[in-house]
């Protein structure tokens, strides 16, 4: 019984240490920027654009300016861009190059043109 309690306590200490590490890694600074965002500014910019486009698509469906099938097609294209961004990053230690960012931004510009302007 005592050995079992020690194992449980040891496990609890490990979990607490890991959660503290994860919290410190993802903690936001005064500007709201996380460590990951600071270390991956190009990926952050690409993903912020994708998030914004996703929000615009949802809003346009609610407003009736975009059909559900059009929205599904736009979401599928966004998903492809996001997957491409991840694939590019996996080939370069988690980062994307300026040229890769430019290519992704051009793809996002094409998708953005399909979303009705406000």
Number of residues that make up the chain? 118
Residues 19-46 pLDDT 10s: 655 554 455 556 666 776 677 788 889 9
Burial of 71 per CB tally in 10 Å (0-12, 13-18, 19+): middle
CA 74 – CA 25 distance, rounded (Å): 33
Residue 104 has pLDDT above 80, yes or no: yes
Residues 47-91 pLDDT 10s: 899 999 999 999 999 999 999 999 999 999 999 999 999 999 999
Domain ranges of the chain: 40-118
């Amino acid at each position: 019984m005592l050995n079992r309690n020690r194992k449980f306590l040891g496990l609890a200490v490990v979990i607490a240490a890991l959660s503290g590490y994860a919290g410190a890694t993802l903690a936001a600074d005064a500007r709201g920027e996380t460590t990951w965002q600071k270390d991956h500014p190009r990926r952050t910019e690409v993903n912020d654009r994708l998030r914004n486009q996703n929000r615009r698509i949802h809003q346009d469906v609610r407003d009736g300016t975009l059909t559900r099938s059009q929205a599904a097609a736009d979401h599928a294209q966004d998903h492809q861009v996001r997957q491409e961004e991840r694939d590019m990053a996996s080939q370069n230690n988690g980062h994307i190059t300026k040229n890769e960012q430019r290519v992704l931004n051009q793809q996002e510009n094409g998708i953005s043109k399909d979303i009705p302007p406000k």
